[in-house]
Structure 1
């Protein structure tokens, strides 16, 4: 088992109280999904959880840090923040944070405008 696989298995264990957790490879890391919703990502062995304006202050207060990626020579802060260190030790400690991530992801999905209907041609 590779180091990445071991990390993903451990994260699945931590998030198991939520329900079925899946992981998909993406951009050199992994996307973490619950109920078909991406709630987190793993990059360089670190779990980052989805945040929004409502949950970000809680992550900041817990000493978490944002996921930052480089694009075209500049740093871009994403809406994912590292999980609190103490939450990485037990599922009971992780579950509330994972629920915050899921709620943020659902709010984001629900805030997207409905897709426009395709234009029909008049004959």
Structure 2
């Protein structure tokens, strides 16, 4: 199952003042980027999660936004993403506000090293 294109379009429209949103398929969902910087994911069940980090965790905690968790091979884990507040689904200004927090976390993330060729 692919991520809801309507939700992706909604996010892209709200983030348009900041930059161009692109997506990449990810395990039934999508990874979202603004001008090449990751800022959000849409999970396989069409929930929007924004990038977070130690600097932004307090803001997410204050808003009651849960951390992204998963189970794989009998083990649980988490990733630095926080569930979007409910109001982002119908208020473009709120989506932009929270999206910018995610984008700032994405910009602070260390650059990934290129994979070595075998």
Q: What TM-score comes out, normalization by structure 1 length? A: 0.80
Matches within 5 A, 1:40-59: 40-43=40-43, 44-59=45-60
Report what 1:62 is aligned to.
Answer: 63
> Runs (4+) of structure 1 moved beyond 4 Å?
none
Report what 2:88 is aligned to.
Answer: 87
Shift of residue 14 of structure 1? 2.5
Structure 2 residues not aligned, in runs of 5+: none
| Residues 23 and 31, structure 1, Cα contact 8 Å, conserved in 2 | yes
The number of aligned residues is 112
Matches within 5 A, 1:1-123: 4-43=4-43, 44-109=45-110
For residues 31 and 9 of structure 2, the distance between their equivalents in structure 1, rounded to whole angstroms, comes to 13
For residues 63 and 28 of structure 1, the distance between their equivalents in structure 2, rounded to whole angstroms, comes to 26
Structure 1 residues not aligned, in runs of 5+: 116-123
Question: Higher helix fraction: Structure 1 or Structure 2?
Answer: 1
Q: Secondary structure in 2 aligned to 1:54?
A: coil
Shift of residue 37 of structure 1? 0.9
Q: Secondary structure in 1 aligned to 2:15?
A: helix
Q: What TM-score comes out, normalization by structure 2 length? A: 0.83
Q: Secondary structure in 2 aligned to 1:18?
A: coil
Larger-Rg structure = 1
